[in-house]
Structure 1
Amino acid sequence: MEPLRTHQGLVYPLNRSNIDTDQIIPKQFLKRIERSGFGQFLFYHWRFDDAGNPRPDFSLNDPKYKGASILVAGENFGCGSSREHAPWAVQDFGFKIVIAPSFADIFKNNCVKNGILAIQASEDQVQTIMKNAEAREYCLTVNLEDQVVSDNEGFSLSFDIAPYPKEMLLNGWDEIGVTLTYEDKIEQYELLYK
């Protein structure tokens, strides 16, 4: 995974609450065993009609959000089943940051394990970001080291993150990467018991 320290990106507002993992990535697309290729199916039933044509009335299909890397959504984002495919789809589509008033715990943990920063912000802060992103092309800068989200117009919010997931994201480590930081100790242990 790539380290995440400071990220500046275009914001995509998805003003809906209780978006579950079945809406993020529908079950029929879960047949792959690799982590890549799921982005094309993100929010599939909202983005495409039954014939597979893009729905012009769904905002993510609007060209003004092309290349967005910060997703802002309503409360309880990622609820539902505990499939890891949901953050895979979010990441593969190009989102590096998700901001919402609340997240399902399993989804939030799966985000960290896959290099996505899930930021919990107040409802008022989320609505401010959404209104700005709905009105125009709107970018945010996310500084993980300082735990601050800001724009160039005076908006700023601080967010909390536990030390362990913060270290994982800052260093680009998944759980195997964390284990490998102890490789020399593991080798020493193995030498003792050969």
Structure 2
Amino acid sequence: MQPEPFTRLEARTLVVRQSNIDTDQIIPARFLTTTTREGLGKSAFYDWRYTEDDQPKNASPFPVAGAGDRQVLVAGANFGCGSSREHAPWALLDYGFRAVISSDIADIFKSNALKNGLLPVEVDQRTHAALLERPGIRIVIDLESCTLETEDDIRAQFTVEPFARRCLLDGVDPLGHIVAHEEAIAAYEAAAA
């Protein structure tokens, strides 16, 4: 399944202030029994959302039904640390998130997110602190200009590795990008032979 093109996202935020959220919290290891992405959203943050007998927790910041219009997760520092499981961005996407914002996102998680259509956005400490204080705020993330802004006074720039940015804008993963240039590759190989 190819990711959807990501050019501009307007959504509300869901804020989780906790730092050091690791991939086992994002999707517990017991749910890593599949190699497909579909259906993993029900397991996203499972131990935060459900009791041991699979009943919804009232105090969970995550709605049982999914992200809804809160498609931007704002999390504490060092988000996505821990193991390199690709299931973590799959679960977040299937749950309904399109972007994650933090002051610091673990490198392996960031790489996996970008390859799968989830936009990891790292912002400066001041912007991060302001977003953490405003849960549910409407935010616009523009990947063309690499900017984010809220309905009030928050505005920030962010960076995305250029190839990953191109893939997100085009709605392809890295392999899809290569396949899209199959004719040009074949022509080059024929000319070089």
Matched residue pairs, number? Answer: 190
Segments ≥4 residues shifted beyond 6 Å: none
Separation in 2, partners of 1:160, 1:152: 21
Mapped contact 1:54–1:61 kept (Cα < 8 A): no
Amino acid at match of 1:108: K
Specify which of 77, 80, 87 is matched with residue 78 of structure 1. Answer: 80
1:1-194 equivalences in 2 (<5 Å): 1-61=3-63, 66-133=68-135, 137-188=136-187
Amino acid at match of 2:98: K
SS at 2:141 equivalent: strand
Separation in 1, partners of 2:86, 2:160: 20
CA gap of 1:131–1:62, structure 2 versus 1, over 3 A, is farther
For residues 7-41 of structure 1, the C-alpha deviation after alignment (integer angstroms, 9 at most, x for no partner) is 10010001111111000000111111211110000
Q: What is the percentage of aligned positions where both structures have the same residue?
A: 36
Separation in 2, partners of 1:176, 1:161: 18
Q: CA deviation at 1:193?
A: 9.4
For residues 70-122 of structure 1, the C-alpha deviation after alignment (integer angstroms, 9 at most, x for no partner) is 00001111111101000000110010010001111110000110011100012
Separation in 1, partners of 2:4, 2:63: 27
Separation in 2, partners of 1:193, 1:13: 53
Mapped contact 2:127–2:154 kept (Cα < 8 A): no
TM-score of the superposed pair, with normalisation by structure 1: 0.91
Mapped contact 1:99–1:121 kept (Cα < 8 A): yes
Separation in 2, partners of 1:99, 1:170: 18
Separation in 2, partners of 1:99, 1:172: 20
